[in-house]
Amino acid sequence: MITLEHLEKRYGDTYAVRDLNLAFPDASITALLGPSGCGKTTTLRMINRLIEPSGGKVLLDGQDAAALRPEALRRGIGYVIQQIGLFPHLSVAQNVATVPDLLGRDRARTNARVDELLDLVGLDPRTFRDKRPGELSGGQAQRVGVARALAADPPVLLMDEPFGALDPIARDEVQERFLGIQATLKKTVVIVSHDIDEALRMGDYVALMRAGSLEQFGTPDDLVRRPATPFVRQFLGDDANLRQLAGVPVRHFVQAGDTAGLPRLEAGTNTRTAIALLLRAGSESGGVWDGDRPLGVVSFRDLTRAEAAPAPDAPGRPA
Ligand SMILES: Nc1ncnc2c1ncn2[C@@H]1O[C@H](COP(=O)(O)OP(=O)(O)OP(=O)(O)O)[C@@H](O)[C@H]1O
């Protein structure tokens, strides 16, 4: 469990983070959400001590992070950022193996682990392990970044706007892929986002910050339906229900049917993106695929109907 107690970061007279008290539940994703400059990144980087607090504490399983050596601390904490900084002269496999190699782990075991991780993030190791970062798309590079962060099997993963640079379709796909991974690995994940849709979609919990302090902590549902303050309501916007729905993958609307000749939608594509894709294709319905497996069809009408009048119990994220 990561716990923040009266955590503070001052720069001169100004507080980037002020008296922040927060516990990140184990084996869950918590999204740190809030307007630009509210202190999300500063908070995240105080957890792995890339930034030293001016006051208060970060506790990791009850241990004061300040008492640990930063290198030892960071070994147990994966870190994924937008500019993932893959080493351009190393292959994908070597990039993923960076930390296990640094730790002097057994080569054969690391090789097997690299292949496993590439599979996990949806990159066929036979195709990708020997490629250079320059040969990858943005989404593929970001997945390599996630694989690299997972390589030493850290219990904690910190992610700072990890998917911010991707186009909406690639972002949906990588987010969905990551949720699939998390369902198996159950890491304690803290993800910084200024994107409300992303936070509501990815977070088991959301911590909404404002001016360095915590405004509300709760499940996405809590924030949407029971905003604790006018700021929360205003920040999420009047279309908060809609936003929550935008995070629902199209697989929830699939019906039996033949996908032949229909525009292809990935199972994890969110409803709003799917509507845009069908509009662009001028098609009344789309075929939904999970990788190589056709799942069925979704109709434009069902998707737009769901968007226009989200049921109070609109489906949430798949369990
Ligand atoms: N090194 C620094 N020196 C002075 N002020 C800083 C420094 N780093 C951050 N700040 C200030 O602290 C506040 C919080 O910054 P932080 O980067 O944590 O915000 P954020 O919520 O992550 O913002 P964004 O979403 O724009 O990345 C901002 O007002 C920022 O200007």
Using a pLDDT cut of 70, give the percent of the chain over it.
92
Check residue 312 and give its pLDDT: 42
Check residue 317 and give its pLDDT: 39
Residue 39 CB–ligand 1 contact under 6 Å? yes
Check residue 314 and give its pLDDT: 43
Give me the tens of pLDDT residue by residue for the chain, a chain 319 residues long: 899 999 999 999 999 999 999 999 999 999 999 999 999 999 999 999 999 999 999 999 999 999 999 888 888 898 888 777 789 999 999 999 988 887 788 888 889 989 988 988 888 999 999 999 999 988 888 889 889 988 888 999 999 988 887 777 778 878 888 888 888 889 999 999 988 888 988 899 999 999 999 999 999 888 888 899 999 988 988 666 666 666 678 888 899 999 999 999 988 888 878 887 888 888 899 999 988 889 999 998 888 777 655 444 444 433 3
Angle CA 8–12–18, to nearest 5: 20
Residue to mutate (ligand 1; options 15, 18, 32, 40; most atoms within 8 A of CB): 40
Check residue 241 and give its pLDDT: 62
Rounded to the nearest angstrom, the distance between the alpha carbon of 24 and the centre of ligand 1 is: 21
pLDDT in tens, 114-143: 998 898 888 899 999 999 999 998 888 888
Strand, coil or helix: 227: coil
pTM: 0.78
Rounded to the nearest angstrom, the distance between the alpha carbon of 86 and the centre of ligand 1 is: 25
Check residue 308 and give its pLDDT: 58
Angle, helix 271-281 to helix 168-185, in steps of 10 degrees: 140
- How many angstroms separate the Cα of 43 from the Cα of each of 57, 70, 73, 145, 146? 11, 16, 16, 21, 20
Calpha distance 104→275 (Å, rounded)? 49
Strand, coil or helix: 43: helix
Which is the closest atom of ligand 1 to the Cα of 192? 22
Check residue 242 and give its pLDDT: 62
Rounded to the nearest angstrom, the distance between the alpha carbon of 23 and the centre of ligand 1 is: 22
Angle, helix 168-185 to helix 138-150, in steps of 10 degrees: 20
pLDDT in tens, 39-88: 999 999 999 999 999 999 999 999 999 999 988 888 889 888 877 778 99
Measured by CA distance, the residue closest to atom 14 of ligand 1 is: 39
Q: Which residues contact 239 (CB under 8 A, 6 or more apart)?
A: none
Which ipTM did the prediction report?
0.95
State the DSSP H helix or E strand holding residue 298, giving kind and residue range, or none if neither: strand 293-299
Which is the closest atom of ligand 1 to the Cα of 44? 18
Measured by CA distance, the residue closest to atom 2 of ligand 1 is: 11
Calpha distance 287→225 (Å, rounded)? 33
Check residue 103 and give its pLDDT: 76
Residue 40 CB–ligand 1 contact under 6 Å? yes
The closest alpha carbon to 151, from 174, 126, 117, 188, belongs to: 117
Rounded to the nearest angstrom, the distance between the alpha carbon of 297 and the centre of ligand 1 is: 45
Encoded tokens for 306: 């769901």
